[in-house]
Amino acid sequence: MRRGAVLVLTLAVVLGASSLAFGAKPEVAVYAFGSEVMVFWDPSDTYSNEIIAMNNMYEQLIRYDPFTDTFEPVLAESYEKSADGLVWTFHLRQGVKFHTGNELTAEAVKLSIERTIARGMGASYIWAPVDRIEAVDKYTVSFHLKYPAPLDLIASGAYAAFIFDPAYSDHDWFAAGNDSGTGPYTVEDWKAGDYLVLKKFDGYWRGWEGKHFDKVIFKTVPEASTRRLMLEAGTADFTDDLPITEIEAIQGNPDIEIVVTPSFQNLLALFNTQKPPLDNPLVRKALAYTLPYADVIEGVRFGYARQSRGVVPYGLWGYSDRVKQYTYSLETAKALLAEAGYPEGGLKLLLTYVSGDEDERRVGELWKSALAQIGIELELRGMPWEAQVDLGQASDPMQRQDIFLFYWWPDFPHPHSFLREMFGTRDEILFNFTYYSNPVFDHLIKRAEELAGTNRAEAINLYVEAQNILMEEAPGVAIYDLEYVRAKRASLKGYVDNPAYPHVVFWYDCYREG
């Protein structure tokens, strides 16, 4: 309780400091998040947790609704594509202002995306199909493609599709805690590792009639129990994925609402293929047979998940029951280990997970218990996200963890996000924590990406073939596909979960009742 008391005091200080400019008491929302929020500040580079804030500071040309497979106009009022699918033309909304005061124009869109492409960071790869961008007139912009890709999915991406003021796009300026978007909220205050305060942008193009929050505080709270206490006390309005044990404890509280929705997020175990003994595919396949999948789904997620089949999650196009699925079989694992030269086990492995993530920890505990039965010792190490990534990116493969427990959600609603980023051959590690490289796999997913805009069925066939290569060589294994189980205050209204924008609350659409 001492920790909770300190947290409430901290929030009170933030609220007090940020309320002075309003005079009257502002409507303030609090999002309690499990880890550091602002990992990347540059909208061209963004590739991590900051998605939850960035999608309130910046906007895309359009927004995707995966439930209806349709697109909502945002900065573009309409768009069309040529008959051959090689030219996509967007007609911009007029009178939109950046937070800097400058006007949104076709030239600003062109320069935003060109900068993102040129920097080559984060999810910028999604723009690979673009040959050139043309500002046709002040409010019309055309994208000329190398091949007929689904540019609407790209332009609506949760990452790398943000439009910003090119006159305010210095990387160091962004990194100091600044933004130049068109979204409803802009930065007021930030303390790294602690909180981010966004305030409403008075010049927002949709206006501020009706009920809205004046400010949003994103508070970093690693302990799940503390996030739950904040929600119960009313010092937080929303929190990210709580362990199901915490959800069960607050299920009957009339002041809290539980929202269950599908997701495009899965939990994966990525194997260090450059470090013995996991450089041997027989050992990796053996490990894939030692995960007690059913016990994990029931004991950790209480049924709010399904065992993964391949890497592409259930519900996202590209998922297929033609992809191999591992089962729990210690006998099969022992036979594979014997074939690999380890008949008695005798291996010691390190698994890292994000500290404070109880689901990841409990998955690790169940796996550790199963492995112990065949003579494998598994060390579990909870680490802050940044430290876990640093270890996974160590220059010496022998210094890296053996197993990197890892969630993935889509950069944009496309199988390529899952297959290229974690398993494609890369010049730098980034998020390929398997260090896997297979030219046949690379060719298949590249060809599938090129076909996706004209022949999705054939693209899916290629993605299935590519995933089955992964299942055979086992550089990693997807464990389960999540259902999101969100906890929020019952008084928070207007929230709609969109799995194409994972963990994002579009705060402009929300308000507090009562």
What's the pLDDT score for residue 14? 52
DSSP secondary structure letter of residue 277? T
Architecture of domain 2-51+175-261+486-512: 3-Layer(aba) Sandwich (3.40)
The torsion angle over the Cα atoms of residues 116, 117, 120 and 121, rounded to 10 degrees, is 30
Q: In whole angstroms, give the CA distance from residue 214 to residue 202.
A: 10
pLDDT of 65-119, one tens digit each?
A: 998 989 999 999 999 999 999 999 999 999 999 999 999 999 999 999 999 999 9
What's the pLDDT score for residue 24? 63
Residue 63 has pLDDT above 70, yes or no: yes
Question: Rounded mean pLDDT of 28-44?
Answer: 96
Domain 262-483 listed as CATH 3.40.47.10: no
Residue 400 has pLDDT above 50, yes or no: yes
Residue with tokens 């308000």: 511
Residue 240 has pLDDT above 80, yes or no: yes
Phi, then psi, of 436 in degrees rounded to 5: -80, 145
Residue 35 has pLDDT above 80, yes or no: yes
DSSP 217-240: EEEE---HHHHHHHHHHTS-SEES
The token pair at 410 is 């889509």
Coil, strand or helix at 413: coil
Identify the CA nearest to 284 among candidates 363, 342, 354, 366: 342
pLDDT of 179-204, one tens digit each?
A: 999 999 999 999 999 999 999 999 99
Residue 249 has pLDDT above 80, yes or no: yes
DSSP 398-432: GGS-SEEEEEE--SSSSTHHHHHHHHS--SS-TT-
Class of domain 62-155: alpha beta
What's the pLDDT score for residue 2? 29
Count other C-beta atoms under 10 Å from residue 398's C-beta: 9
What's the pLDDT score for residue 362? 96
Task: Considering the chain, tell me which residue range(s) the CATH 3.40.190.10 domain(s) occupy.
Answer: 2-51+175-261+486-512
Coil, strand or helix at 264: strand
What's the pLDDT score for residue 144? 98
The torsion angle over the Cα atoms of residues 345, 350, 355 and 357, rounded to 10 degrees, is -40
- pLDDT tier at 174, thresholds 50, 70, 90: very high
What's the pLDDT score for residue 367? 98
Task: Considering the chain, tell me which residue range(s) the CATH 3.10.105.10 domain(s) occupy.
Answer: 262-483
DSSP 62-129: EEEETTTTEEEESSEEEEEE-TTS-EEEEEEPTT-B-TTSPBP-HHHHHHHHHHHHHHT-TTGGGGTT
Task: Return the higher-pLDDT residue of 18 and 173.
Answer: 173
> pTM for the full model?
0.85
- φ/ψ region of 36 (left if φ > 0, alpha if ψ in -120 to 50, else beta) reads beta
Residue with tokens 């069960």: 248
**434 in Cβ contact with 271 (< 8 Å):** yes
Q: In whole angstroms, give the CA distance from residue 440 to residue 320.
A: 20
- φ/ψ region of 142 (left if φ > 0, alpha if ψ in -120 to 50, else beta) reads beta
What's the pLDDT score for residue 23? 52
- pLDDT tier at 1, thresholds 50, 70, 90: very low
**293 in Cβ contact with 466 (< 8 Å):** no
Identify the CA nearest to 431 among candidates 42, 36, 153, 48: 48
Task: Considering the chain, tell me which residue range(s) the CATH 3.90.76.10 domain(s) occupy.
Answer: 62-155
What's the pLDDT score for residue 11? 53
- pLDDT tier at 428, thresholds 50, 70, 90: confident
Residue 25 has pLDDT above 80, yes or no: no
| 267: amino acid identity, one letter | L
Coil, strand or helix at 356: coil
Residue 6 has pLDDT above 70, yes or no: no
**488 in Cβ contact with 237 (< 8 Å):** yes
Residue with tokens 């699925």: 325
The token pair at 98 is 């950046």
Q: Under 8 Å CB-to-CB from 72, ≥6 apart: which residues?
A: 62, 63, 64, 65
Chain-wide mean pLDDT for the chain?
A: 93
Residue 12 has pLDDT above 60, yes or no: no
Q: Is the peptide bond prior to 397 cis by the omega test (within 30 degrees of 0)?
A: no
The token pair at 175 is 């990194």
pLDDT of 321-372, one tens digit each?
A: 999 999 999 999 999 999 999 999 999 999 999 998 889 999 999 999 999 9
| 98: amino acid identity, one letter | F
Of the listed ranges 31-45, 376-390, 427-441, the least confidently predicted one is 427-441
DSSP secondary structure letter of residue 502? T
Task: Return the higher-pLDDT residue of 240 and 29.
Answer: 29
HSE value, Cβ hemisphere, 13 Å, CA-based, for 347: 27
Q: In whole angstroms, give the CA distance from residue 290 to residue 286.
A: 7
Distances (CA, A) of 10 to 2, 3, 53, 235: 12, 11, 20, 11
Question: Rounded mean pLDDT of 231-242?
Answer: 94
Question: Rounded mean pLDDT of 266-276?
Answer: 98
How many separate helices (H) and strands (E) can be counted in the chain? 15, 19
Residue 5 has pLDDT above 50, yes or no: no
Residue 49 has pLDDT above 80, yes or no: yes
Residue 513 has pLDDT above 90, yes or no: yes
- pLDDT tier at 241, thresholds 50, 70, 90: confident
